[in-house]
Amino acid sequence: METEVLTCGYSFHMEPFNVSTKSGLNSYLFRLQTEGTSEVLVDGHMLRVEAGHLLLFQPGDPYELRIEHELDQPGSKIASGDYYVFCKGAWIDAWWKRSLKQTCTRIDLDARIISLWRQLILEKRRMEEENHELSGYLLQALCLYVERAATETVSLQGRPFTATRMKRFIEAQATATFKVDDVANHVGLSVSRAVHLFKECFGKTMIQYALEVRLASAVERMHDSSMSLEQIALSCGFGSYPYFHRAFKHRFGTSPKLFRQNAQQN
């Protein structure tokens, strides 16, 4: 079997919790903090982990997890949540070796990653009815998603993590209706700061980038669907066909109708 999910789930702690395997893990462990805080042994030191921190451990790594009251707030409430999966297999071995994996990375809490994790948990809960092939593919997809999220976070041309989060939010929401305020709220910045940071990092405004995403989506649908141009315009986030027509012609130098005709002929 190329991959095997040993156990996976979602943990939510409201009381102090401590687990230690200093002799080394017997399998791979992936852990994503989604709520609250915890402390985890990383590179020989206990590191404070917050929502959005992704932890990747390989067999043999020492592991320690502590969930306790804040030192300066001994009576404070504990509310720490995380997704985890213990796994092994030849595919995981090859995936791990093909690129450097940082033990702890800050990523955006992408709904697609959370959804994959939940599907994996639900399939594992079927017990004797579990489809091991499906679990294996879900695990592989999860590995690829978290790898991309981690890589984008640490290497997107040195851009701040917050700017990357704004960019991903716009990509996810571009074909729907959203405001600049929504982007700013998503990353916890004022509108003016969010607007300045995005322009500084990407050389264009949020609206300009959203327009690029919408036009790219429209081109895809022209090739791959039988939808009318009016339907494509509305489904890609354009408020009206005349606006879509003007934006498309300005970007591609031809009308949507002629573009589609030429694409179909080729």
* Residue 157 reports pLDDT greater than 50: no
pLDDT of 185 reads 92
H or E element, residue 84: strand 80-88
pLDDT of 155 reads 46
* Residue 210 reports pLDDT greater than 80: yes
In this prediction the pTM is: 0.66
Q: Which residues contact 25 (CB under 8 A, 6 or more apart)?
A: 57, 58, 59, 60, 61, 62, 63
pLDDT tens track for 44-75: 899 999 988 999 999 999 999 999 876 556 56
Nearest to 120 by CA among 150, 79, 168, 87: 87
How far apart are alpha carbons 28 and 98 in whole angstroms? 15
Q: Which residues contact 79 (CB under 8 A, 6 or more apart)?
A: 12, 13, 14, 35, 36
Residue for token pair 């504990």: 78
pLDDT of 173 reads 87
pLDDT tens track for 78-93: 889 999 999 999 999 9
Least confident of 40-54, 69-83, 107-121, 136-150: 69-83
pLDDT of 266 reads 63
Judge whether 168 and 73 are in contact, CB under 8 Å.
no
pLDDT of 70 reads 67
Band (pLDDT 50/70/90 cuts) for residue 244 is very high
Band (pLDDT 50/70/90 cuts) for residue 143 is very high
Dihedral angle, C-alpha 259, 234, 116, 162, nearest 10 °: 90
- Tokens encoding 224: 């791959």
Mean per-residue pLDDT for 224-241?
89
